[in-house]
Amino acid sequence: MSELLTVKEAAALLRVKERTVLGYLRTGELEGVQMGTEGTGRRWRIRREALEHFIEAREKTKRKEG
């Protein structure tokens, strides 16, 4: 099983704010899963591979634009 990251850990790796990572998760730009049940404050988890894929996709987009 691959490593699961918290929103805080993913934000630190991307060097962005946690709310930015949450935005990527909500729009589907970054793949993640919500752990827990409704009413208990679901927590997002991101597979390290999904974060790496997200970074690669963003780099490709920037190369095309630049």
Q: Say if residue 65's pLDDT is above 80.
A: no
18-56 residue pLDDT tens? 999 999 999 999 999 998 876 666 799 999 999 999 999
pLDDT recorded at residue 61: 78
Is the pTM higher than 0.85? The answer reads: no
Number of domains making up the chain: 1
Sequence-distant (6+) residues with CB within 8 A of 44 are 6, 7, 21, 22, 25, 32, 33, 34, 35
* Structural domain harbouring 18: 4-65
More confident residue, 64 or 30: 30
CATH of the domain at 49: 1.10.1660
Give the containing element (helix H, strand E) for 43: strand 43-47
* Helix-strand-coil split of the chain, %, nearest 5: 55, 15, 30
Rounded Cα distance, 49 and 13, in Å = 13
pLDDT recorded at residue 22: 95
